[in-house]
Amino acid sequence: MQIFVFPGLMLTLVLILYVLIKALSGFDMAQRISFFVGLVGGSFFLASFVFGYFSSNASGSSFLSLPASHFEKWLCGVLIAGIFYPVVFLIFYYGIDTGFVALYHNNLDPASPFYKQAYESVYRFDLDGVVARNVYILFFIYTGAMLLGSLYFNKVSVIKTAVALCIICLVIFGTNWLFATMLFGNIEEASPFHGVALLAGNDVGSIELPADIAEICKYVFFYVMPATFWILSFTRLREKEF
């Protein structure tokens, strides 16, 4: 169920999303949304399954009694949600994206005066581009959070973890906005760990974090926080066994 059925359903959903959004909004939007939903959304839900044995005492006891160490059980979940699914998804996504882009290019009329413009307006989604790298970061954050949440919330862990993440985000953004307003007064935008946009008459100015502080915040958000979620899930699973 975890290894075959759910990934298959998720890949089918990604294909449908890609086709529908491409028809409504074009290639760029279809590529971005389907890639995000497939990688982050798929891994998030799959992560809720790999440690979802504690919804009842019987299944939880059966899982804990398996002849394997807590590290092996944790590693099994990590391999399914953190390696197996992303690799399968990326191969599948590259294949469908390449196919649809090639089909579009082949259907263009070379004799058209706008052929070059139309050809260059559509290209394959860059799996190493800025958008993709941001999605990879969200993948590590949300998948790690779900692995941890599935061990803390025995019932409907997907919903409870999603609500917990929303509350954390609201608290962070709300606190940041409150302090920015108290310090600078009339502001237009306040991005946590980044900067503040200030209104000065009809103009908008900005105050950003110093480069060294911004680099530290970036390191914490991109690396430390995701790693903390994944490590804490291992610690929590070990606690379950005791």
At residue 85, the pLDDT reads: 92
pLDDT tens digits, residue range 141-175? 999 999 888 888 877 888 888 899 899 888 888 88
pTM confidence score? 0.84
| HEC letters along 75-103 | HHHHHHHHHHHHHHHHHHHHHHHHHHHHH
d(CA 233, CA 70): 11
pLDDT classification of 87: cutoffs 50, 70, 90: very high
Q: Is residue 96 a part of any domain in this protein?
A: yes
Q: Is residue 117 a part of any domain in this protein?
A: yes
At residue 221, the pLDDT reads: 83
Mean pLDDT of the 198-205 span: 71
The alpha-carbon radius of gyration of the chain (Å, integer) is: 22
Q: Is residue 111 a part of any domain in this protein?
A: yes
d(CA 18, CA 233): 33
Query: CA torsion angle for 189, 191, 194, 196 (degrees, to 10)?
Result: 20
Q: Which residue has the higher pLDDT, 197 or 24?
A: 24
Cβ neighbours for 35, distance < 8 A, ≥ 6 positions apart: 93, 125, 131, 132, 135
CA-wise closest residue to 49 among 175, 188, 171, 149: 149
pLDDT classification of 49: cutoffs 50, 70, 90: confident
Count structural domains, the chain: 1
At residue 92, the pLDDT reads: 96
Query: CA torsion angle for 222, 154, 50, 137 (degrees, to 10)?
Result: -10
Minimum mean pLDDT range among 4-13, 151-160, 200-209: 200-209
At residue 111, the pLDDT reads: 83
Q: Is residue 138 a part of any domain in this protein?
A: yes
Backbone φ and ψ of 108, nearest 5°? -80, 150
Mean pLDDT of the 77-101 span: 93
At residue 58, the pLDDT reads: 59
CA-wise closest residue to 233 among 140, 147, 159: 147
Cβ neighbours for 132, distance < 8 A, ≥ 6 positions apart: 35, 125, 126
d(CA 7, CA 15): 12
At residue 93, the pLDDT reads: 96
Q: Is residue 33 a part of any domain in this protein?
A: yes
With 70 as the cut, is the pLDDT of residue 12 above it?
A: yes
Report whether 126 contacts 132 (CB < 8 A): yes
Q: Is residue 173 a part of any domain in this protein?
A: no
At residue 187, the pLDDT reads: 75
Residue 108, domain extent: 5-154
Q: pLDDT averaged over the chain?
A: 85
With 90 as the cut, is the pLDDT of residue 191 above it?
A: no
Beta strands in the chain (DSSP E): 187-191, 195-200, 203-208
Q: Is residue 188 a part of any domain in this protein?
A: no
pLDDT tens digits, residue range 52-65? 766 666 566 666 66
Q: Is residue 122 a part of any domain in this protein?
A: yes
Instruction: Give all strands of the β-sheet with 195-200 in edge-to-edge order.
Output: 187-191, 195-200, 203-208
pLDDT tens digits, residue range 120-129? 888 999 999 9
Task: Report the range out of 30-39, 145-154, 222-231 with the highest average pLDDT.
Answer: 30-39
